[in-house]
Every structure is written in C-alpha cells, then in structure tokens.
C-alpha cells in the first residue's frame, strides 16, 4: 500500500506564499502612491486601473452594436494588421536591400566610367567610352557644355533611392555631384563635376531601384479585397438566420402571425435556438387555446345558470325584491363577460389593417353620452393590428375617462414605428404611488374615484394585457386637463 504524505506543510507553504505576494503588491502600490503624491508624476495602480476602465468604456461606446458589424471587424482587423506588418517588413527590409544592391552596381558602373574618362587623353577615347557605357552598361553618358552643377533639389517624400544612391556615389566617387530621381519618370539623372566639365549619366530607374513595389501593393490590396468580400458573403449567410429568428420573435411578441417560411437554418447553435423558439411558440399558443376553450365551457355553464335565474324571476313577477335580484343577475353577467375578456385576451384574433382615427372617434362617441370630447390624430391612419382587442383596450381607457371626468381629450399619432394614444380627462386623477397598483386584477381605487361608478376592477388590467400582447405598454401620468392621462404605446 502506498502512503500519503501529510499535506499540512504544503498548505502552509502555499498560504505563506500567497500572503507574501499580497504584502509585496501592497508595498509596491503604497510606494508608487507615495511617489506619485510626492512628485506628481507616477500614478498609482488605482489610477491606472481607472484610466484603463474609462478607456474601455469609451472604446465600447465607439464600437458598433450590430453582430454583423462586430463580426466583420473581427475578420477585417486581423487581415489589415497582417497586411500592414507584411508591407512594413517587405517594403522596408526587402526593398531596401534590393535597392541598395542595384544602386551599388549602378554607382560602381558610374565610378568606372568616371575613371576611364579621367584617363582618356583625347576626344576619340571619350566617344568610345560613352558608346561602351551605353551598349554594355546601359548608361546614357553625355558631356554637358556647362561647368557648374544645378542647385540641390528637394528630396521626395519616399527618399529611399535618393539616400541609398547618393550615399554610395559619395563613397565610390570623391567628386561633387548632383542627383535627380523625380525629374524624369523612367530615368535617374546623375551629374558629376570632373574638373572643368560636367558628366551627365542617365540610368534606367529599374536598374537603380526595385520598381515592382506597385505590383506587390496592387496584388496585396486586390487579394485582401477578394478575401474580405468572400468573408462578408459567408458572414451575411451566417447572420441572416439570426436576424430572421429575431424578426420572428418580435413579430410573435407583437401578436402578429409568424412568417410561413420561417424554418431553422444556419449554424447548429442557431438551428437549436430557432427550433426551441418554434416549440415555445407552439406551447404558448396551445396553452392559450386550451385556456380559451376551458373558459368558453365555463361561460356556457354559468350563462345557462344565469338564464335559469332570469326565467325564475320572470315567473315571480313584480314581487318585492325581484328588481334587486334582476340587477344582481345583470351585474353578474357583466362581471362574467369581463372575467372572460381578461382571461381570453382575444388570442385567436388575426391582425388586419385598421383605421385607428375612425376607431378612436367611434369609441369616443359611444362612451361620451353627451359629454364634451375632442379627438385628434396625426400620421398614418391605417395600421395593422388586432382591431377588436385594440378597440377593447382604448375603449376601457376612454370609458374610464368619461366615467370619472367631465371633459375628455383623445390624441393619437403614428411616428417612427410606434402608435401612441393619449387619453386625458379632468377627473380626480390617481395618486402617483397607486398608479401601478390599479393594473392589478380586481383592484378598486374607491378612495380616489366615484364609488357608485366603480366597476369590476378589470378594465385597466385588460387594457394593459392587450397592449402587452401587441408588444407595447400602458402608462399613467398627470393630465394637462388636471386629471389623469392614460398613454397606450405599441410598436407597429
């Protein structure tokens, strides 16, 4: 059997090392802090960390928010960085080496010609040297009539050839010279003062300089663009299934029917997410259908009982207390309708194009009962939504406004993909700390509203439930008329 050594010393050693590391870090931090406070030059670790966090937050705000743009940066940034490194290494190292070799050969040829010209005793020898230089060395040589060199010209921005060739000529030939690499497109001109004469040399640029850098850069840029185009095409194909899934989820959240051609596509993870969304949508729809069917059965049974009560009251005639019973049955019927409307939510209704302005005008006329009101609307009037449920939503708000106020204003507008409806009244309003509680089912705010006009406590919950089924929300606020403002805002 193998024995296990006591781990106590090991644990104590690790703990001692950890304490020593923490103590050392605190000591360095304190020393830097004291030095920074004393000199004002060395920041503490805390200042460095805070500066880094501020920079990270700034960078996060500047970065694009879309998945396609971020993925494109992930692909493009390494390609651009790689091309920059390759260009620097190749152009600054390889081309400098090649240019130096070519310029060295050219400078040696020029030095040889200068020495031959200096040793030539007559004009015939000079002409022969010029001919040999042109035929064998590919150098254009001429004796200029002037005896002075031109003033020094400004060096070009990319002065690699000027620096290299000028340095080599200065080493090879100990004579005054003048060089021009920009005056002629295909030649490099060198003038050397030899005694009382000026010798002009015209060397092909390709003979003194590695001139294929343009081809290299062109190929590098073209291949980079081709690779990025291919990456963008593949990336768009990968992003499109995610966008379709988001559109399907948003459409389902707004209560609209899902696209008929929506199927799981794309990468394996995206397919799993799409399949999970489809199953979740089916379960939600099935649950809502089951709830609606169950409530329809309950409604049928309860209505049968209420009808029986009503028939029995009719048989009793006008006996004492029968009118109160009839009113109770009527209230029970209304409560039953409200309960069913709250529970079912018109889930099976399909969206359709609806004139919202006409819908608001019609609801206000039906609920006003002679009270003054005003309806205003701006923007596109025809909007796709569930007309019956939306009419119940704004109808509850409008009836509440007429019930508790004397003057009502209804204003709707469609802008930037949102439909907004404001319902203002001049009633008693609702305290700010109770505006969220009134959306709870069966909650009655009798202290703020008229007790005799109090309903079942389901008007606002039904309205909010319908608004949320459309992907929107309902909010309560102070009205400019002095009462309450109810705002419905849904995306369209």
Joined together, the tokens standing for residue 224 give 């980079």
Q: Is the pLDDT of residue 158 over 50?
A: no
* Secondary structure letter of residue 438 according to DSSP: G
Joined together, the tokens standing for residue 403 give 């019930």
Question: Concatenated DSSP letters for 32-45?
Answer: HHHHHHHHS-S--H
| Domains 87-211 and 348-491 in one fold | no
Residue 258: HSE in the Cβ half-sphere, 13 Å Cα cutoff: 19
Q: Is the pLDDT of residue 35 over 50?
A: yes
In this prediction, residue 45 has a pLDDT band, given cuts at 50, 70 and 90, of low
Q: The sheet that has 373-378: what strands, in order across it?
A: 373-378, 408-415, 418-425, 484-491, 473-478
Residue with tokens 């990319």: 158
Mean pLDDT, residues 101-126 taken together: 80
In this prediction, residue 212 has a pLDDT band, given cuts at 50, 70 and 90, of low
CA distance 395 to 388: 10
Determine the pLDDT at residue 5: 40
Query: Per DSSP, what are the bridge partners of residue 192?
Result: 177, 199
The residue extents of the domains of the chain are: 20-62, 87-211, 348-491
Determine the pLDDT at residue 16: 55
Q: What is the dihedral of CA 157, 161, 166, 168, to 10 degrees?
A: 150
pLDDT tens-digit map of 339-397: 666 555 555 567 788 899 999 999 888 888 888 889 999 988 888 888 888 888 898 89
Residue with tokens 């919202």: 356
Q: Is the pLDDT of residue 439 over 80?
A: yes
Instruction: Pick 335 or 21 by higher pLDDT.
Output: 335
Angle between helices 123-136 and 95-119 (to 10 degrees): 160
Element (H, E) at 194: strand 187-194
pTM value?
Answer: 0.48
Distance set, CA 319 to CA 307, 331, 338, 340 (Å): 19, 20, 30, 32
Which residues does 111 contact at the CB level (< 8 Å), separation at least 6? 169, 172, 173
The fold of 348-491 is Heat Shock Protein 90 (3.30.565)
Instruction: Pick 204 or 44 by higher pLDDT.
Output: 204
Determine the pLDDT at residue 411: 93
Could you tell me which CATH number the domain at 87-211 has? 3.30.450
- Lowest-confidence region among 191-200, 286-295, 443-452: 443-452
Residue 170: HSE in the Cβ half-sphere, 13 Å Cα cutoff: 8
CA distance 231 to 216: 22
Q: Is the pLDDT of residue 450 over 50?
A: no
């Amino acid at each position: 059997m193998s024995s296990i050594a006591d781990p106590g010393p090991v644990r104590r050693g690790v703990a001692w090392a950890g304490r020593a590391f923490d103590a050392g870090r605190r000591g360095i931090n304190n020393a830097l802090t004291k030095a920074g406070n004393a000199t004002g030059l060395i920041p503490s670790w805390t200042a460095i960390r805070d500066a880094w966090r501020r920079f990270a937050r700034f960078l996060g705000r500047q970065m694009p928010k879309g998945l396609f743009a971020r993925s494109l940066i992930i692909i493009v940034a390494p390609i651009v960085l790689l091309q920059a490194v390759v260009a620097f290494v190749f152009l600054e190292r390889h081309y400098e080496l090649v240019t130096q070799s070519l310029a060295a050969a050219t400078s040696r040829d020029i030095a040889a010609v200068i020495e031959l010209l200096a040793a030539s005793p007559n004009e015939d020898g000079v002409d022969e040297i010029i001919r040999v230089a042109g035929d064998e060395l590919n150098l254009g040589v001429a004796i200029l009539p002037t005896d002075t060199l031109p003033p020094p010209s400004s060096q070009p921005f990319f002065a690699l050839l000027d620096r290299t060739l000028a340095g080599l000529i200065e080493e090879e030939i100990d004579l005054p010279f003048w060089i021009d690499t920009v005056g002629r497109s295909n030649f490099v001109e060198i003038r050397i003062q030899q005694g009382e004469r000026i010798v002009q040399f015209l060397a092909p640029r390709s003979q003194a300089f590695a001139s294929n850098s343009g081809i290299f850069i062109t190929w590098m840029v073209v291949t980079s663009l081709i690779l990025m185009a291919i990456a963008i095409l593949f990336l768009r194909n990968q992003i499109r299934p995610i966008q379709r899934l988001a559109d399907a989820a948003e459409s389902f959240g707004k209560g609209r029917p899902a696209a008929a051609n929506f199927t799981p596509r794309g990468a394996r993870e995206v397919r799993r997410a799409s399949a999970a969304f489809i199953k979740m949508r089916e379960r939600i729809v099935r649950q809502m259908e089951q709830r609606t069917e169950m409530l329809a059965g309950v409604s049928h049974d309860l209505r049968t009982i209420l009808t029986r009560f009503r028939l029995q009251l009719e048989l009793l005639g006008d006996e004492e207390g029968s009118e109160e019973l009839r009113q109770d049955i009527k209230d029970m019927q209304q409560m039953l309708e409200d309960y069913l409307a709250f529970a079912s939510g018109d889930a099976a209704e399909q969206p359709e194009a609806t004139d919202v302005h006409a819908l608001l005008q019609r609801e206000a006329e039906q609920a006003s009962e002679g009270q003054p009101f005003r309806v205003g609307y701006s923007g596109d009037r025809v909007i796709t939504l569930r007309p019956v449920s939306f009419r119940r939503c704004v109808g509850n708000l409008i009836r509440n406004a007429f019930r508790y106020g004397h003057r009502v204003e209804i204003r709707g507008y469609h802008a930037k993909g949102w439909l907004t409806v404001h319902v203002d009244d001049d009633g008693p309003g609702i305290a700010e700390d109770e505006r969220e509680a009134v959306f709870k089912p069966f909650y009655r705010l009798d202290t703020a509203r008229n007790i005799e006009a109090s309903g079942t406590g389901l008007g606002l919950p039904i309205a909010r439930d319908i608004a949320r089924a459309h992907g929107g929300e309902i909010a309560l606020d102070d009205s400019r008329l002095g009462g309450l403002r109810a705002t419905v805002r849904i995306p369209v």
